[in-house]
Structure 1
Amino acid sequence: MRPSSRLLLASLVVLATAASGCRKSQAQGTSPSCILVEDDWGPDGKVPFTVDVVAEGLQVPWGIAFLPGGDALVTERPGRVRLLRGGVLQPQPVAQVPIASSSEGGLLGIAAHPDFATHRQFYVYVTTEAAGRTENRVERWTLSEDHGSATFERVIFDNIPSAQYHDGGRLRFGRDGMLYVGTGDARDPDLSQDPRSPAGKLLRLTPEGQVPSDNPFPGSPVFLLGLRNLQGWDWKDSETLYITDHGPSGDLMRRGHDEISVARAGSNLGWPDIYKCESREGQVSPSLTFEDAAPPGGAAIYTGDAISEWKGSLLVGTLGSRHLHRVVFDAREPQKVATHEVYLRNTHGRLREVLMGPDGHLYVTTSNCDGRGDCGPRRDLILRLRR
C-alpha cells in the first residue's frame, strides 16, 4: 500500500467516530434556500449563441486539458489520450492507458500540471486492475516535446474504491496549485460519510500526491465528504465552490434529485443522510435539485466575455436530460439560486465535460457513444460555444 493510502486509512479516528454518530440521526426539516424542480428541468434560456463542432469521431471524451501554446489533451473512456492541435484531432493516440472493464469506469479525468511548460506533466484518473482487484487511481504521465506521445511516470494516489457505477473521476487543479480529485461512492453509500475512505469525496492533494498541511482535516486528503458521484465543480472564489452531484438512482429506495450545491473546505454534502431539499445540522443542503434524474456531468463558471449575459453563471452539462443548464446564484444570498434555465435541449444528446478554454469560450463534450445515447456516424463531439 502506498504512503498516501496508508495515511488516509490511519488518519482521523476522532472524525470517524463523530461521523458514525451523526449517521444515526435523521433529516431535521427542509432547507428554505433549496429549490426543488418538480416538473421538467426549467425554462428555456433566451441568450443567443453559436455552436461550433471543434472535433468529431471520438468515443466518450471524458476530460480535456488545455496546454500552453494551444494544444489540448482529450481522454477517451476506453483508454486513449488524444491530441487536439490547431483545432484538429490527431489520428493517433498520444497514449494507451490500461483500464479495467467497468460500465462507468475507464480513463476519465485529466489535468495538466500548473507548471506544464517546464516538465510537460499531466495527470489522469483511471479505473484499472491492481493486485488482482479493480480500483480507481490517479497517475502522472509526461508528454513528449513534440506532444506526439506520452510516458507513464508513476501512481500518485491509489486505492480509490471502484464499482460498475459511481466512479466519479474528475480532476482539476485549483487556483492554489493543488490537485482536486472527485470520486464516487462505488455503490456503497456509507463510504461517503466515512472519512477513512476516499470514496464519495472531493480530495485535495499536492502535485506529488501528498496531503497538504492546510487541508480541513489534518493528515487527510479529504476536502469535502458526503458526495455520491462527483463529476463537476468550479470555484466561485478562493473559499467557495459550486458542486454538482448525482442523486440516487434506486439506492436506499430513492431516485432522482441530482444536486447543485455551494460548499467550503470541510463541508459535508449529506449523502446518504439527506437528499431532496432535506436539511440536517452540520450538512449542506442543495441549492437546486431536480425530481427527475438529470444527472450532471462537468461544470464551469463562465468567465469569458463572448457571451456577456453568462458572465459569472455556472454552466452544467447533463447526461440523461441532454441539455446544458445555466445557474445564476443570488448576489445577496450566496447559497440561493436566483434563476436557472435550459440550453441545447435535446440538440446534441448527452453532455459530459464542460470547461472554459484559454480563448475565453466554453467547451462541451458529448457522451453519446457510452451505450446510453445515439452514437451516430460522427460519434462523439467537442463543441465550442461562442456568440
Structure 2
Amino acid sequence: MKHTRILAGGLVVSMSLLGLASCSATTSESTTATNEERTKTELASASNQGCTLVKDGFGPQGKVNVRAEEVVTGLEVPWGIAFLPGGEMLVTERPGRVRLVRDGELQPSPVATVNVTDSGEGGLLGIAAHPNFADNRLFYLYYTTDKNGSPVNRVERWQLSPDGINASSDRIILDEIPVALFHNGGRLRFGPDGMLYIGTGDARAPESSQNVDSLAGKILRLTPDGQVPPDNPFPGNPVFISGIRNTQGFDWPNESVLWVTDHGPSGELGRSGRDRVSVARAGDNLGWPTTYGCGSNENFVTSSLSWRDAVPPGGAAIYTGNAIPEWKGSLMIGTLGSRHLHRVVFDPDSPQQVQLHEVYFRGQSPNGFGRLREVIMGPDGELYVTTSNCDGRGSCPPEQDKILRITR
C-alpha cells in the first residue's frame, strides 16, 4: 500500500507504508546467544572489520586539559542552536519555543512559539540558519506537530524580523516525516555544498530504515527551497543515507564524507546498546536493522566505533577551533544516558578506523554536566554544548538547562 508525500514546490514522492523486507544478512551477533558468547563474537567481528568495540564503560578519561564556561542558564530542554551574524544565537526549546541569546543574555520573550506535540522525544528539535541568513534572515525548524488528527514531524522555514525579536513562518519544506513516541531524529545542518541535511529516526518501525521510499531512518538532502537536488543518489528522492535507527548528530570532515552518530537498539529483536559512529557517503546504507553495532554485511557500511553499553549520542561536531589545538579535526559528541562529552579521532592513514577516543566531563556536577544534547562549533571558534537535564530523564537543577562553552 502506498501514499504520497508533498515536498516544498509541489514535488510528490511515492511513499510505502509497509517498507521493504530486510535482506538476509550476516550479523555479528545471534539474538539467542548468551551475553558472553555475543561479546566474544562481537569482538572477533569488530577486529576483522576494523570497528572499535568498547566492551566495558565508554572509554578512557580524556587527557587534554579543558574547562566549561556557563554561557546561558534558564532554558527548558534546549535542542539546537543556530548562530547568527554578530554573535547572537537562536535556541530551540523542546516544548515549542525559539529563544534569542543577545549580548550573552537570554531574552525573556520567545522569538517564536511553535504549536508542537512534545510527548516522548518529540517537540521542537533541530534548527539551522540559511547559508545566506545575513541577506534573507531565514532559518529552519524541525518539529513534531498534529496534522489532521495525526502526529507528524515537519521541517519548516521561518524568517526573523529585522530587529530579531520575532519570527514568522515562511513555508513548509518537508512534511509528514514519520513520528513515534521515540526515534524521531531531528537534527538539521547545512552541508559544505549549501544543501540542507535532515536527520530522521525510524519512528519505531525498523524496517522503514531500509525502504528508500520512506523518510524514516535516514539522512535526507534538500535544497534550501525544499527541492530534491539533481545529484542526490536516488533520482527525485530526498534520501541521501539510509539504514539509520535514530541520528541526532553528523558533520563533514570533507565535502564528500559524513561522520554519523546513531542510537543503537533498546530492546528491539532482543538487542540493546551498540550505539555507533560511522563514516558514510552519498547513497550509503548503515544497515539498521539488519546489522547494528560492529555487525558487518557486504551490502552495508560497517561502523567505526560502537559501545556495548548504551550511550546514546546526541549532537556531534568536528572541532575546527584554535583554543584547543589538540582537538583539531576530532569529532566531538554529546552523550545523553552516559552523561559525558566524547572525543573521537580517526586514523588519517585509514580514514574508516578510529585512532583514539576519550571521555570528558563524565557524570553530574561537580565534574560533569549530566545529559548533553547539542554540540556545535560557534563562529568564534569555540565549541558549544547544551545540557538536557530537564527532559524527564535527567536531574533538572534550579537553574534549568544550560549552554556551555568548552575551552581552555
TM-score scaled to structure 1, two decimals? 0.96
Q: Assess if the C-alpha contact under 8 Å between 2:5 and 2:12 holds in 1.
A: no
- Cα distance per residue 1:169-226 (max 9 Å; x no partner): 0000011110000000000000100100000000000111110001011110000000
Give the deviation of 1:353 after TM superposition.
0.3
> Aligned equivalents of 2:77 and 2:106: distance in 1?
14
> Aligned equivalents of 1:151 and 1:84: distance in 2?
18
> Aligned equivalents of 1:224 and 1:318: distance in 2?
22
Work out whether 1:177 is the aligned partner of 2:177.
no
> Aligned equivalents of 1:54 and 1:137: distance in 2?
30
> Aligned equivalents of 1:355 and 1:47: distance in 2?
19
Give the deviation of 1:131 after TM superposition.
1.5
Structure 1 pair 8–231 and aligned structure 2 pair: CA distance change class (3 A): farther
> Aligned equivalents of 1:47 and 1:2: distance in 2?
48
- Cα distance per residue 1:202-251 (max 9 Å; x no partner): 00001111100010111100000000001000001001110000000011
> Aligned equivalents of 1:233 and 1:154: distance in 2?
25
> Aligned equivalents of 2:14 and 2:118: distance in 1?
30
Match of 1:363 in 2: 384
Match of 2:41 in 1: none
Q: Assess if the C-alpha contact under 8 Å between 1:8 and 1:221 holds in 2.
A: no
Give 1:377's aligned amino acid.
P
Match for 1:376 among 389, 392, 397?
397
Superposition map of 1:84-233 within 5 A: 84-233=101-250
Match for 1:3 among 6, 9, 21?
6
The alignment partner of 2:85 has SS state of: coil
> Aligned equivalents of 1:212 and 1:203: distance in 2?
11
> Aligned equivalents of 1:253 and 1:4: distance in 2?
36
Q: Deviation above 3 Å: which 4+ runs of structure 1?
A: 5-9
The alignment partner of 2:208 has SS state of: helix
Give the deviation of 1:9 after TM superposition.
3.7
The alignment partner of 2:87 has SS state of: coil
Give the deviation of 1:375 after TM superposition.
0.5
Match of 2:67 in 1: 50
Match of 1:286 in 2: 303
Match for 2:283 among 243, 246, 266?
266
The alignment partner of 1:280 has SS state of: coil
Structure 1 pair 101–52 and aligned structure 2 pair: CA distance change class (3 A): closer
- Cα distance per residue 1:341-363 (max 9 Å; x no partner): 00000110000000100000000
Give 1:339's aligned amino acid.
L
- Cα distance per residue 1:138-192 (max 9 Å; x no partner): 0011100010001111211001000000000000001111000000000000010
> Aligned equivalents of 1:107 and 1:269: distance in 2?
26
The alignment partner of 2:351 has SS state of: coil
The alignment partner of 1:218 has SS state of: coil
> Aligned equivalents of 1:20 and 1:130: distance in 2?
26
| Percent identity of paired positions between Structure 1 and Structure 2 | 62
Match for 1:63 among 43, 68, 80?
80
Q: Assess if the C-alpha contact under 8 Å between 2:338 and 2:371 holds in 1.
A: yes
Q: Assess if the C-alpha contact under 8 Å between 1:122 and 1:140 holds in 2.
A: yes
The alignment partner of 2:156 has SS state of: strand
> Aligned equivalents of 2:50 and 2:334: distance in 1?
23
Give 2:25's aligned amino acid.
Q
> Aligned equivalents of 2:224 and 2:261: distance in 1?
24
**What are the ranges of 5 or more consecutive residues in structure 2 without an aligned counterpart?**
29-44
**What are the ranges of 5 or more consecutive residues in structure 1 without an aligned counterpart?**
none
TM-score scaled to structure 2, two decimals? 0.91
Give 1:365's aligned amino acid.
T
Q: Assess if the C-alpha contact under 8 Å between 1:204 and 1:221 holds in 2.
A: yes
> Aligned equivalents of 2:180 and 2:11: distance in 1?
23
Give 1:139's aligned amino acid.
E
Match of 2:339 in 1: 322
Q: Assess if the C-alpha contact under 8 Å between 2:337 and 2:371 holds in 1.
A: yes
> Aligned equivalents of 1:27 and 1:366: distance in 2?
38
Match of 1:349 in 2: 370
Q: Assess if the C-alpha contact under 8 Å between 1:9 and 1:197 holds in 2.
A: no
Match of 2:35 in 1: none
> Aligned equivalents of 1:219 and 1:153: distance in 2?
24
Work out whether 1:331 is the aligned partner of 2:348.
yes
Give 1:112's aligned amino acid.
A
**What is the aligned-residue RMSD (CA, Å)?**
1.7
Give the deviation of 1:28 after TM superposition.
5.7
Match for 2:257 among 240, 259, 262?
240
Give the deviation of 1:2 after TM superposition.
5.6
The alignment partner of 1:309 has SS state of: helix
> Aligned equivalents of 1:241 and 1:142: distance in 2?
28
Superposition map of 1:290-301 within 5 A: 290-301=307-318
> Aligned equivalents of 1:111 and 1:276: distance in 2?
29
Give the deviation of 1:76 after TM superposition.
0.1
Give the deviation of 1:386 after TM superposition.
1.0
